[in-house]
Amino acid sequence: MTALLGTGTAPAPTVTTTIATRVRDRAATTPRGVAMRSKQLGLWRETSWAEYWEEVQLVGHALLALGITRGDRVAIASENRREWLSADLGIVAVGGITVGLYPTNPAAEVLHLLADSGSVLLVAEDQEQLDKALEVSDRTPALRHLVYVDPRGIRGRYDDPRLLHWDDFLELGRGHRAAHPGAIDEAMAGTRPDDVMTLVYTSGTTGPPKGAMLSVANAEATIATFTGVGGLQDPPAGPSDMVLSYLPLCHVAERIFTIWNNAATGIQVNFAENIDTVPANLREIQPTFFFAVPRIWEKLLATVRVRQASASPVKRAVGNLGLKLAEGVGKSLVANGGRHTASSRVRHAVAWVLVVRSLRERLGLRRVRWAGCGAAPVAVDVLQFFAGLGIPVHELYGMTENTASATANRPGRIRLGTVGEPHDSVEVRIDEQTGEVLTRGAATFLGYWNRPDATAETVDADGWLHTGDVGVLEDGYLRITDRMKDILITAGGKNIAPSEIENALKVSPLIKEAVVIGDRRAYLTALIGVEPDTMSDWAQRHNIAYSTYRDLTEKKEVLELVQGIVTDVNSRLATVEQIKTFRLLPKLLDHEDGELTATQKVRRSALAERFSDLVEGMYSGAAR
Amino acid sequence: MTATQRPVRDPAAGTPAAAAPSATPAPARARRPRGRPAMYTGYAQNMALLNTGGKKAGVLVLFVVALLLPFLLQDDLLRLLATGAVLAIGAIGLNLVTGYAGQVSLGHAVFLGIGAYTASVVSGDPEDESVYGFGITFLPVWLLAAGLVAALVGAIVSPLATRLRGLYLAIVTLGLVFIGEHVFREWDALTGGVGVGREGPTPELFGFDVGTRSEFFSADQQLYLLMLVMLVLFALVGRNIARSAVGRNFAAVRDRDIAAEVTGVDVRKAKRLAFVISGFYGGCAGALLYSINGYIDPGSFNVLLSVQFIAMILIGGAATISGSIMGAFFVALLPRLTRELPEYLPFLSSSPTETPNVFQFETFLYGILIVLFLILEPRGLFGLWVRARNYWKAWPFSY
CA dihedral (A419, A420, A423, A426) in degrees, to 10, reads: 60
User: B396 vs A40: CB contact, 8 Å cut-off?
Assistant: no
CA dist A392 and A416 (Å) reads 10
- 3-state SS, A201-251, equals ECCCCCCCCCEEEEEHHHHHHHHHHHHCCCCCCCCCCCCCCEEEECCCCCC
Which chain A residues are within 8 Å of B24, Cβ to Cβ? 48, 50-51, 54
Instruction: Determine the pLDDT at residue A198.
Output: 96
Residue B23 banded pLDDT, cuts 50, 70, 90 = low
CA dist A32 and A362 (Å) reads 31
Which chain B residues are within 8 Å of A31, Cβ to Cβ? 25
Identify the closest residue of chain A to B393 by CA–CA distance. Answer: A358
Instruction: Determine the pLDDT at residue B367.
Output: 84
Using DSSP's 3-state secondary structure scheme, residue A269 falls into strand
Judged by a CB distance cut-off of 8 A, whether residue A125 touches chain B is no
User: A54 vs B12: CB contact, 8 Å cut-off?
Assistant: no
Using DSSP's 3-state secondary structure scheme, residue A596 falls into strand
Residue A444, pLDDT above cutoff 60:
yes
CA of B22 to nearest chain A CA: how many angstroms apart?
Answer: 10
DSSP string, A6-66: TTTPPPPSSPPP-HHHHHHHHHHH-TTSEEEEEEETTEEEEEEHHHHHHHHHHHHHHHHHT
**Which positions ≥6 away from B346 have C-beta within 8 Å?**
none
Burial of A257 (0-12, 13-18, 19+ CB in 10 A): buried
Q: Is the model more confident about B80 or about B214?
A: B80
CA dist A68 and A204 (Å) reads 29
Residues present in chain B in total: 399
DSSP B349: B
Identify the closest residue of chain B to A27 by CA–CA distance. Answer: B25
Residue B16 banded pLDDT, cuts 50, 70, 90 = very low
Identify the closest residue of chain A to B392 by CA–CA distance. Answer: A358
Residue A100, pLDDT above cutoff 60:
yes
Burial of B141 (0-12, 13-18, 19+ CB in 10 A): middle
Strands A393-397 and A370-373: parallel
Identify the closest residue of chain A to B39 by CA–CA distance. Answer: A284
CA dist A47 and B300 (Å) reads 62
CB count, 10 Å around CB of B184? 26
Residue B32, pLDDT above cutoff 80:
no
CA dihedral (B331, B335, B337, B342) in degrees, to 10, reads: 150
What's the Cα-to-Cα distance from A308 to each of A130, A302, A311, A321, A463, rounded to whole Å? 43, 10, 5, 12, 51
CA dist A190 and A327 (Å) reads 55
Judged by a CB distance cut-off of 8 A, whether residue A273 touches chain B is no
The answer to whether the CB of A553 falls within 8 A of the CB of A560 is no
Which chain A residues are within 8 Å of B43, Cβ to Cβ? 43
Instruction: Look at the domain A17-191+228-276 and name its fold.
Output: Rossmann fold (3.40.50)
Residue in A24, A37, A45 to test binding to B, most B beta-carbons within 10 Å: A45
Instruction: List the domain boundaries for chain B.
Output: 73-300
- 3-state SS, B110-159, equals HHHHHHHHHHHHHHCCCCCCCCCCCCCCEHHHHHHHHHHHHHHHHHHHHH
Q: Which residues of B touch A (CB under 8 A)?
A: 11-12, 15-18, 20, 22, 24-28, 30, 33, 35-36, 38-43, 46, 395-399
pTM of the model: 0.83
Which chain B residues are within 8 Å of A355, Cβ to Cβ? 395-396
The answer to whether the CB of A2 falls within 8 A of the CB of A179 is no
Amino acid at A110: V
Which chain B residues are within 8 Å of A268, Cβ to Cβ? 33
**Which positions ≥6 away from A382 have C-beta within 8 Å?**
A294, A297, A298, A301, A507
User: A311 vs B22: CB contact, 8 Å cut-off?
Assistant: no
Q: What percent of chain A has pLDDT over 90?
A: 67
Residue A332, pLDDT above cutoff 50:
yes
CA of B27 to nearest chain A CA: how many angstroms apart?
Answer: 4
List all residues of chain A from 187 to 246 with a beta carbon under 8 Å from chain B: 242
Instruction: Determine the pLDDT at residue B29.
Output: 65
In what order do the strands lie in the sheet containing A447-448? Answer: A163-165, A145-148, A121-124, A73-77, A97-101, A196-201, A211-215, A447-448
Question: What pLDDT digit, counting tens, does each position of A227-249 carry?
Answer: 876 566 667 888 999 999 999 99
Instruction: Determine the pLDDT at residue A231.
Output: 64
Taking residues B182-208, what's their average pLDDT? 87
CB count, 10 Å around CB of A7? 9
The answer to whether the CB of A20 falls within 8 A of the CB of A56 is yes
Instruction: Determine the pLDDT at residue A334.
Output: 84
Partner residue facing A54 (CB), from B24, B36, B398: B24
Q: What is the mean pLDDT of chain A?
A: 90
CA of A288 to nearest chain B CA: how many angstroms apart?
Answer: 11
Instruction: List the domain boundaries for chain A.
Output: 17-191+228-276, 279-426+473-483, 487-623
Q: Tell me the CATH class for A487-623.
A: alpha beta
User: A31 vs B25: CB contact, 8 Å cut-off?
Assistant: yes
Identify the closest residue of chain B to A165 by CA–CA distance. Answer: B16
Question: What pLDDT digit, counting tens, does each position of A608-620 carry?
Answer: 888 999 999 998 8
The answer to whether the CB of B42 falls within 8 A of the CB of A37 is no
- 3-state SS, B315-331, equals HHCCCCHHHHHHHHHHH
Is 0.85 exceeded by the ipTM? no
CA dihedral (A359, A364, A370, A371) in degrees, to 10, reads: -80
**Which positions ≥6 away from A114 have C-beta within 8 Å?**
A75, A101, A122, A133, A136, A137, A140, A142, A143
Question: What pLDDT digit, counting tens, does each position of A367-411 carry?
Answer: 999 999 988 888 888 999 999 999 999 999 999 999 988 999 988
CA of B152 to nearest chain A CA: how many angstroms apart?
Answer: 40
User: A366 vs B27: CB contact, 8 Å cut-off?
Assistant: no
